[in-house]
Amino acid sequence: MAKTQGGTLSCKSVVGSGWRFDVARLGFEAAAVALTTQAATPPTVTTIAAAVRLCRALTADDTARLPTHAAALCGANATLCSATTIGGADGDAPVLAHVQSWASLAGLAPAAGPGVYSLAADQLKVAADGAAFSLLIPGDAWGGLSLATNISFVCVSDSGGASYASAGPAVNFNLSSNSLLHIDWPTPAACGVPLTSIGSGMLSCFFPLNTLNPIALGPGGMSLGGLFMLIVLLTIFFYFSIGSAYNILVNRITIFPHFIPNIAFWDQLVSRASNGRVNLAGGSGYIRV
């Protein structure tokens, strides 16, 4: 992974370091994704069930998938909440050990547009080839620990099957430490699209490409060169539109192209340019204009 200068996160996309990732394919906007992992801890079994939404706070419907009584213990702004239960290996009812909010909207700064959040440089890392990215999102405090989630999304093709559509058995998550939850998530959503392929043509002269869609691509600003070109084009537009309107309404010149302001000058300029091309083709050189 290569460090970035930060980026943006929304339910539609993650943008950073010149790449856009279509996380809408993970379905976070519609509902949370359920994750479950088990570990043998003789003489019992420890199970961790989690609900993940990342871009939105978990709802009551999202946390209803967690074990009984766990939902009420998830943080109000939690986007990833897990419930750890112990037991159930021998048919006994599992016992709820603890509930932790590993990721929260409280750890993200709002950006331009509703539902868009800024990611600091240490919160987003993007692979140089756009084939992976990772998020580091702070969670709530728990037992004196500041929890956080590190999710590594890795690009896979759609041929991987239905399990790659959201989570499924392909997703692996474990505790890297008592305060860090690590998730490896293979998905086509991690196959980045370079921002230079999203917008092109004249608009790209005026705006950086990451400003063409501020909701999906994140914040940006107009360059000085783009501002200059915009002023030039607006000046030309108003010159011809106002001049033509004056000739039509005041001078009563209604025949095209005679109502164009200073039509004699433009006609002479075009004529001289045309003659210059003819003489150049004939080998007699340029004509001074």
Domain range summary for the chain, segments of one domain joined by +: 2-217, 224-281
- What per-residue string of b and e applies to 28-64 under the rule 16 or more CB within 10 Å gives b? beebbbebebeeeeeebbbbbbbbbbbbbbbeeebbe
| Percent of the chain whose pLDDT exceeds 70 | 76
**Angle at 120 (CA atoms; ends 119, 124), nearest 5 degrees:** 65
Top-confidence residue, 141 or 240: 141
Q: Comparing 7-16, 30-39, 198-207, which segment has the lowest mean pLDDT?
A: 198-207
Confidence at residue 141, expressed as pLDDT on a 0 to 100 scale: 93
d(CA 257, CA 225): 32
Q: How confident is the model at residue 91 (pLDDT cuts 50, 70, 90)?
A: low
DSSP class of residue 89?
A: T
Q: Are 109 and 117 in contact (CB under 8 A)?
A: yes
Q: How confident is the model at residue 215 (pLDDT cuts 50, 70, 90)?
A: very low
d(CA 121, CA 110): 15
Confidence at residue 162, expressed as pLDDT on a 0 to 100 scale: 44
Q: How many CB atoms lie within 10 A of CB 169?
A: 8
Name the average pLDDT for the chain.
79
Q: What is the CATH number that goes with domain 2-217?
A: 2.70.130.10
User: Cα separations (Å) of 146 from 72, 177, 285?
Assistant: 20, 11, 77
d(CA 74, CA 143): 14
Q: What is the mean pLDDT of residues 128-149?
A: 93
